[in-house]
């Protein structure tokens, strides 16, 4: 499953305008597979790319969220990048209502962030 996902995201990476999404997918796939070193390597590339591409903070936050799914230490980074996405007025923040965030609903920082967005906790 992870190999197929990586192939898909690597092909997407070759598509003009899709580099950020592809790198977030590659980082997330590595994170979910347990390959933290490769996830961090892809995340480093993603963060470098996001410096020159406004509106990409949510993609970085999602990559950190994937890392945080296996290692709680990455939650702070996830929130930091969600805050950057908020500052960018990222429309992707509506995705914080998606089911994949379920494990975060009890976190007081999540509740406060959702309230800040004007969404129910």
* C-alpha pair distances (Å), 60 with each of 21, 25, 53, 106: 9, 10, 12, 22
Has residue 108 got a pLDDT over 80?
yes
Q: Where are the alpha helices (DSSP H) in the chain?
A: 2-13, 19-33, 36-50, 57-68, 75-87, 108-116
Q: What is the mean pLDDT of the chain?
A: 92
Q: Give the pLDDT confidence score for residue 65 in this predicted structure.
A: 97
Question: What is the DSSP secondary structure assignment for residue 119, as one 8-state letter?
Answer: S
With a pLDDT cut of 70, the percent of the chain lying above it is: 100
Question: What is the DSSP secondary structure assignment for residue 98, as one 8-state letter?
Answer: S
Which pTM was predicted? 0.91
pLDDT in tens, 38-90: 999 999 999 998 887 888 999 999 999 999 999 999 999 999 999 999 999 99
Q: Give the pLDDT confidence score for residue 54 in this predicted structure.
A: 82
CA angle at residue 121 from 115 to 82, to 5 degrees? 60
Q: How many other C-beta atoms are found inside a 10 Å radius of the C-beta of residue 104?
A: 19
């Amino acid at each position: 499953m992870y190999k197929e996902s990586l192939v898909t995201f690597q092909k997407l990476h070759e598509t003009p305008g899709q580099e950020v999404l592809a790198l977030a997918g590659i980082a997330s796939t590595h994170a979910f597979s347990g390959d933290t070193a490769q996830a961090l390597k892809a995340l480093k590339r993603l963060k470098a790319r996001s410096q020159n591409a406004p509106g990409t903070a949510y993609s970085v936050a999602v990559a950190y969220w994937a890392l945080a799914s296996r290692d709680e230490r990455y939650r702070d980074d996830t929130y930091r990048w969600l805050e950057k996405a908020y500052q960018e007025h990222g429309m992707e923040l509506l995705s914080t209502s998606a089911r994949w965030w379920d494990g975060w609903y009890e976190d007081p920082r999540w509740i406060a962030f959702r309230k800040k967005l004007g969404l129910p906790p």
